Structures are given as structure tokens and as C-alpha cells.
Amino acid sequence: MKCEQEQRLRHIAVDLREDIVRIGYTCHFGVHLGGSLSLAEILSVLYFHVLSVKPDDPGWAERDRLVLSKGHGNLALCAALARRGFFPFEGLDQFNQLNSPFSMHADHERVPGVEASAGALGHGLPIALGMALSSRIEDASWRTYCILSDGEMMEGSSWEAMMAAAHFGLDSLTAIIDRNRLSLDGHTRDVMTLEPLAEKCRAFGWTTLEVDGHDVTALMDALSAEVAQEGRPKVVIANTVKGSGVSFLEDRASSHFGHLTEEETHQARAELEEMRAQIV
């Protein structure tokens, strides 16, 4: 059973990468390729395994909430929402065009299923914290998830929220840090040291796990409700590769934002086919 689910989630992650590559070629202006590709397994596991949502009723009061704090991963998020059935898939082809609801950053106003607009970094965890407080006031069972970039752990507001979530004992809140080790200007080690990140999270009072962010089984296990401590929020540091799945984008700061040529698109597709072939 678990093996079948693992294969399914891996296939969906490849689907999402193919979507990112396609839009990366067709869209106007450019997209955040690297930080979208690093999210593929995280979003696959969340939307197709963890989250309780109703795509035909995006405002369902009892749904789990996911805030994509790294709003520049919006292409990956929208691909996941489309594949989950929140809206027709075809709309994504208008990415970045005038009057298209789909553009560089996550937009709650225009895209069903997007729980909060995001793009300015360091905003999502405070918003998710507010949602978790609301869930607690109502004694509700829905949970709140928040995906952060590692770069936005340089923002003071992220740590304000880390401190407060532990202070309020919000065990219905789970943060996932997409630790791809690259922010816009380069390696986070050079831009602003984050390590020891896990130790910092623990010191702030969070149940802290570190996993391979491209291993769907590891993500499923880490995000399982069984891995939890009462009265403590949980953070999963997902070690990922920026641009994951496309060799010429992997682990390069230059993959942060851009556009794919026709030739690059062919190569990327071939590599993703190979990735899919290895799912057994």
C-alpha cells in the first residue's frame, strides 16, 4: 500500500516538474524555476497525501490550511492545485499574462485554493500562526501547514513567529523549510549563515526533524500526525536541491529566476522522462 502511494506521489512530483518546465518555456517574462522545482515532492506529499481539502469547495471550513510563505514558488503551487482539481489546468498557460490569475507570486485574491497571498518573505509563518490560533479558539481539528524558504529564515519576522508559535503551544502548526541552500545572491552560507538551523529551531521550542526533501517516504513519515509532541509546533527541515530534476538548473543560484529556451526545454523533458522511468 505504502509502496503504491510512494510511487504515485513520485509520479505527481514529476508531473509538477513537467508543468514547471512547460510554463518556464511558454510564459512571458520568466518564472522562479529553481525554487519551484525544489518544492515538487513537498507539494506532492502535502496535496496528495497529507492535506484534507475539497477542491470543489475551496472555502470548506474544516479544511487543512497550507500557506506557501515562499510565494515565489507559486508556479509549483498552482500546478499542484490544478492537478488536485481546484481549477482547470489550461489556465496555467496564461502564466504572467495580463488578467491571468496566475503570476510570479501566490495570490489568495485570484486563485482558488491559495490560502494567503505571499511573495514578500517572512510573512507566511505569522499568517499561518494566526490561522492556528483561530483553529484553537474553535477547538477545531483542522491543521495549518506553512512552507518557508531557507532564505526567509533570514527575516526577523520568521523568528518572531517561531518564538510565538512555541509560546502559544500551537501543536496544530507545522512548518516545512525548503532548505535548498540558495537564495537569490548565492549560497546561504555566504549570504547569511543559517546553520545550525535545526538547533535554532529546537532552541525556539519546536519539534524539529530533518529529512531529504525529495524522498516522499521520508516526507510522509515526518509530516505524519504520529510524529508530534503535544503543545509544540513542528518544523520539518526538508533538505532539497534548487532546480531539482533538471541538471543544468540544479544547485545553481542562477536558476532562481529565468526562462527556458526550446533546446533547454527538450533536454529538461528528456531528463524528467528518465526520472519517471526510475520510479519502480
Binding site for another protein (CB under 8 A): 61, 65, 67, 108-109, 115-117, 119-120, 122-135, 137, 156-157, 160-161, 163-164, 167-168
119 neighbors 67 (Cβ within 8 angstroms): no
Buried b (16+ CB within 10 A) or exposed e, 201-218: beebbbbbbbbebbbbbb
Instruction: Round to whole Å and give the CA distance between 133 and 140.
Output: 10
Q: Residue type at 76? A: A
Tell me the CB-side half-sphere exposure of residue 45, using CA atoms within 13 A.
24
For another protein, the closer of residues 163 and 184 by Cβ is: 163
Instruction: Round to whole Å and give the CA distance between 12 and 44.
Output: 6
For another protein, the closer of residues 3 and 61 by Cβ is: 61
We find the least distance from the C-beta atom of residue 36 to another protein, in angstroms, to be 21
We find the least distance from the C-beta atom of residue 62 to another protein, in angstroms, to be 11
We find the least distance from the C-beta atom of residue 144 to another protein, in angstroms, to be 8
Strand partners for 249: none
For another protein, the closer of residues 44 and 149 by Cβ is: 149
We find the least distance from the C-beta atom of residue 205 to another protein, in angstroms, to be 14
For another protein, the closer of residues 124 and 243 by Cβ is: 124
